Amino acid sequence: MFLSLRGIVKRFGAVTALDGVSLDVAEGEFVCFLGPSGCGKTTLLRSIAGLELPEAGSILLGGEELARTPARLRNFGVVFQSYSLFPNMTVARNLAYGLECRGWKRSEIEERVARMLSLVRLDNQAEKYPHQLSGGQQQRIALARALAPRPRMLLLDEPLSALDAKVRDELRGEIRDLQRALGVTTIMVTHDQDEAMEIADRIVLMNDGRIEQVGSAADLYERPASRFVAAFVGRMNVLPLAGGAFAGVSFSGMAAQEVVGIRPEHVELCTAEHADAIAGRVEKSVFLGSVTRVTLAVGGGRMVIELRGRVADLAPGSPLAVRLPPDALHRLSGGPH
């Protein structure tokens, strides 16, 4: 395995930021660390980069223990939320500086700078200074600078969070394309689930210093391992069963006291006479273009359903019957989140 983490523990005073984290990352893989603020994702990235020293555990890169290797000698490209470009240097000099420090020949530097500027589509900005560029352009230069020395791994700490939504959407696709073109193993920290689901080969979902689940976007969405995963990734209706039933409808194979979940788009409309019908009343209906999102009062609680397109006659107070297909129900472990 290219990168192996084993039992990583990191504390800040009385706070345990990482609690025995273990993970393997394959060479050339794009992995996203996803989770809420304070879950430990940035601390884990900084530990890999050598910017934090874990109290316990090992970090192996190609079988080599990195514990005693200073950050500057790990040959990792690191990009933070702040661009950290040298304001007194042109774009070309920003890219060249790190190569000069590594003793590259002038001809090699010029060729590499031109190559990187072409990859991020900023060939015509080489002689400009950072303050003359937009935020998106500055972050492209920061990426190019990190990739210029041919790093063994690229580490990205929420690199897009300071940008507006439209630029962020454009750049995350470009980052993925760039990573594929270069084949560099990449780990990115984000709190944006859409971002992680769009670009990652695998997502590492973290909570309270631990890994809750590792898998593809489809794995986490369709097969959540816990109640936390189900609630964090997408929308999920969490339904406590009593006697294996919800709102009077029994589900075979379910335990008497169990918590299950169902995605809003999997709830089906039906007639009130249907054998599995659950009666509810519309509290709110919002048309979102591709779907209509309905909040339904049912079974002493609320359920959100999503119906394709625009659905008429869903005024507040309107009766509505739904059914929960048994094969769309997820057993959810873990306490409330």
Q: Tens digits of per-residue pLDDT, 51-101?
A: 999 999 999 999 899 988 888 889 999 998 877 889 999 999 999 999 998
Question: Could you tell me the pLDDT band of residue 202, with boundaries at 50, 70 and 90?
Answer: very high
Give the pLDDT score at 334: 61
Question: How does DSSP assign 237-253, residue by residue?
Answer: EEEEEETTEETTEE-TT
- Using the predicted structure, report yes or no on whether residue 204 has a pLDDT greater than 70: yes
What would the two tokens of residue 173 be?
């696709």
What would the two tokens of residue 305 be?
């359903």
- Using the predicted structure, report yes or no on whether residue 244 has a pLDDT greater than 80: no
- Using the predicted structure, report yes or no on whether residue 292 has a pLDDT greater than 70: yes
SS3 category, 260: strand
What would the two tokens of residue 201 be?
């080969």
**DSSP label at residue 148:** T
- Using the predicted structure, report yes or no on whether residue 253 has a pLDDT greater than 80: no
What's the whole-model pTM score?
0.88
- Using the predicted structure, report yes or no on whether residue 174 has a pLDDT greater than 70: yes
What are the beta bridge partners of residue 30? 186
Q: How far is CA 19 from CA 59, 149, 156, in A?
A: 14, 33, 22
Average pLDDT over residues 4-32: 96
Give the pLDDT score at 337: 43
Choice between 251 and 305, residue whose per-residue pLDDT is larger: 305
- Using the predicted structure, report yes or no on whether residue 221 has a pLDDT greater than 90: yes
Helix axes 106-119, 135-147, angle to 10 degrees: 140
Average pLDDT over residues 164-169: 84
Share of the chain above pLDDT 90, in %: 67
What are the beta bridge partners of residue 169? none
Give the pLDDT score at 31: 98
SS3 category, 111: helix
SS3 category, 13: coil
CA–CA separation, 195 and 41 (whole Å): 15
Query: With contact defined as beta carbons under 8 Å apart, do 226 and 213 qualify?
Result: yes
